[in-house]
């Protein structure tokens, strides 16, 4: 009869979700339109399938990433949080076992100078809580979900770290390229100053033309100083990110970098398994789900079995030697009565927090889809701009050569030469910037799809 009652009670509580495991809500749907790009259900190949070593093939960059993974402060803190969550999960698992304790004690007493009497009690006790109403079960499941959340957070920190190191490295390469272009332009302007002075001596140019050329040269020199400052600051920032003191960063050149000519995003559903921040939000939702179950369990009684065993010489009113065995067993049931209002309030709070976690999870999917869209468009538009800028550069070089020849052999205005040279400088800088933007699009898409761990 007692077993039948327990089975019926367990079935009733199962209908109240106390024993149910977390399942992804049906309201969370991932549509194929999340990427705003035509995808097929068979397109399972994604850029995120590559390891970061396969995507970033520059050996110097690989060394920097490995250094960052070993030394970065935020990543090491995230690893420690995972260890904390593992310890909490172990604690919740040990809650199923009885708690054992040893309580030996002894007394020495004497009344009105009589011979002292000695008593002793060598006892051990055990307490075991029966988890009939899912209190310990939901605590263990919640701790496991918290561990998954911590692990996903660690992976999210790692993916962000890899992307940030790569972005910083390629920023340095872009600044190096721009510095090289600007220095070569400064040398050209210096040659132009000598040419203008010669033309002035020949009566073909004025002092104003010489002064204007010198002013343009000084403007380029100022850009060189600014670029060198930016390079120094970026090296310091990257060194700090790597857990190192500020130092020079060894690197290659922007022209040597190789990336795939085509990028695949896979299907949007893969974001649920690849994006660590999305998985972190879902683990947070699972933790909130089990917290709600624990709040429901608080309405039901707690059943605890206690027992003790020991050897004592004071088993009754008289002291006997040698001692005797003393055994005891107690069963207790605690049913909440007067704190029902508090339990109701706690349940409402847990339900509200679970709804908040669900909304956060849904929003994380939308944000992930937007990041994929933005990165893909960034990469595509950068490639288009590179083609246009390279064609523009070719045209401007031709225009500059023509204007210089006309100025030397005719009455061509020197201002047209200055304008052509400044336009060429800006076009060459734009090519370097667009090349970096293309690489940054690859990095951002890789990170948005969940690659890097």
Q: Is residue 307 in some structural domain?
A: no
* Counted domains in the chain: 1
Separation CA 337–CA 381 (nearest Å): 67
- Asked whether the predicted pLDDT for residue 4 surpasses 60, the reply is no
First to last CA, the chain: 55
Whether 145 maps to a domain, the answer reads yes
**Does residue 337 lie in a domain region?**
no
Is 306 inside a domain boundary?
no
Give the contacts of 133 (CB within 8 A, at least 6 positions apart): 13, 18, 297, 300, 301, 302
Q: Does residue 184 lie in a domain region?
A: yes
Q: Between the ranges 112-121, 145-154, 392-401, where is the mean pLDDT highest?
A: 145-154
Q: Write out pLDDT tens, residues 241-283.
A: 999 999 999 999 998 898 888 888 877 878 888 899 999 999 9
Residue 423 has a pLDDT of 85
Residue 221 domain-assigned (yes or no): yes
Could you give the percent of the chain with pLDDT greater than 90?
39
pLDDT tens per residue, range 22-57: 998 888 877 767 777 666 555 667 888 889 999 999
- Does the residue 120 lie in any domain? no
Residue scoring higher pLDDT (371 or 267): 371
CA distance 258 to 375: 18
pLDDT at 229 over 80: yes
Q: What is the pLDDT of residue 382?
A: 92
Q: Does residue 348 sit within a domain? A: no
- Boundaries of domain holding 247: 50-102+131-301+361-448
Tens digits of residue pLDDT in 310-350: 666 666 555 656 666 666 667 666 666 667 888 889 899 99
pLDDT of residue 356: 96
- Write the CATH number for 167: 1.20.1600.10
Is the pLDDT score of 70 beyond 90? yes
């Amino acid at each position: 009869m007692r077993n039948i009652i327990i089975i019926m009670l367990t079935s009733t509580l199962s209908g109240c979700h106390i024993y149910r495991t977390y399942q992804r809500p049906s309201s969370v749907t991932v549509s194929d339109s999340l990427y705003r790009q035509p995808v097929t259900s068979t397109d399972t190949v994604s850029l995120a399938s590559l390891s970061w070593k396969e995507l970033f093939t520059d050996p110097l960059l690989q060394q920097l990433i490995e250094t960052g993974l070993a030394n970065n402060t935020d990543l090491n803190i995230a690893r420690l949080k995972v260890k904390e969550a593992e310890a909490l999960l172990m604690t919740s698992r040990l809650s199923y076992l009885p708690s054992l304790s040893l309580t030996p004690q002894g007394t020495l007493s004497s009344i009105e100078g009589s011979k002292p009497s000695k008593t002793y009690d060598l006892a051990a006790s055990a307490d075991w809580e029966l988890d009939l109403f899912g209190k310990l079960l939901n605590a263990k499941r919640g701790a496991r979900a918290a561990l998954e959340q911590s692990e996903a957070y660690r992976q999210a920190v790692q993916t962000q770290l890899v992307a940030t190191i790569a972005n910083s490295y390629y920023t340095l390469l872009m600044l190096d390229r721009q510095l090289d272009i600007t220095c070569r332009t400064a040398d050209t302007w210096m040659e132009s100053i000598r040419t203008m002075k010669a033309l002035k001596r020949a009566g073909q140019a004025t002092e104003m033309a010489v002064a204007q050329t010198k002013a343009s040269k000084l403007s380029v020199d100022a850009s060189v100083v600014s670029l060198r400052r930016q390079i120094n600051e970026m090296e310091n920032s990257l060194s700090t990110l790597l857990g190192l003191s500020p130092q020079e960063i060894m690197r290659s050149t922007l022209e040597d970098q190789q990336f795939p000519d085509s990028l695949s995003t896979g299907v949007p559903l893969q974001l649920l398994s690849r994006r660590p921040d999305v998985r972190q939000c879902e683990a947070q939702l699972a933790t909130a789900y089990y917290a709600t179950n624990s709040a429901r369990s608080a309405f039901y009684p707690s059943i605890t079995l206690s027992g003790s065993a020991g050897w004592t010489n004071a088993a009754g009113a008289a002291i006997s030697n040698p001692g005797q065995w003393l055994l005891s067993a107690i069963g207790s049931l605690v049913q909440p009565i007067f704190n029902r209002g508090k339990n109701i309030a706690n349940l409402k709070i847990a339900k509200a927090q679970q709804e908040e976690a669900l909304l956060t999870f849904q929003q994380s999917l939308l944000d992930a889809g937007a990041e994929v869209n933005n990165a893909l468009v960034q990469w595509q538009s950068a490639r288009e701009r590179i083609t246009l800028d390279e064609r523009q550069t070719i045209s401007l070089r031709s225009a500059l050569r023509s204007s210089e020849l006309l100025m030397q052999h005719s009455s061509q205005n020197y201002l047209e030469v200055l304008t052509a040279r400044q336009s060429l400088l800006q076009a060459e800088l734009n090519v370097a910037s667009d090349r970096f933007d293309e690489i940054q699009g690859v990095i951002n898409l890789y990170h948005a799809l969940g690659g890097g761990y």
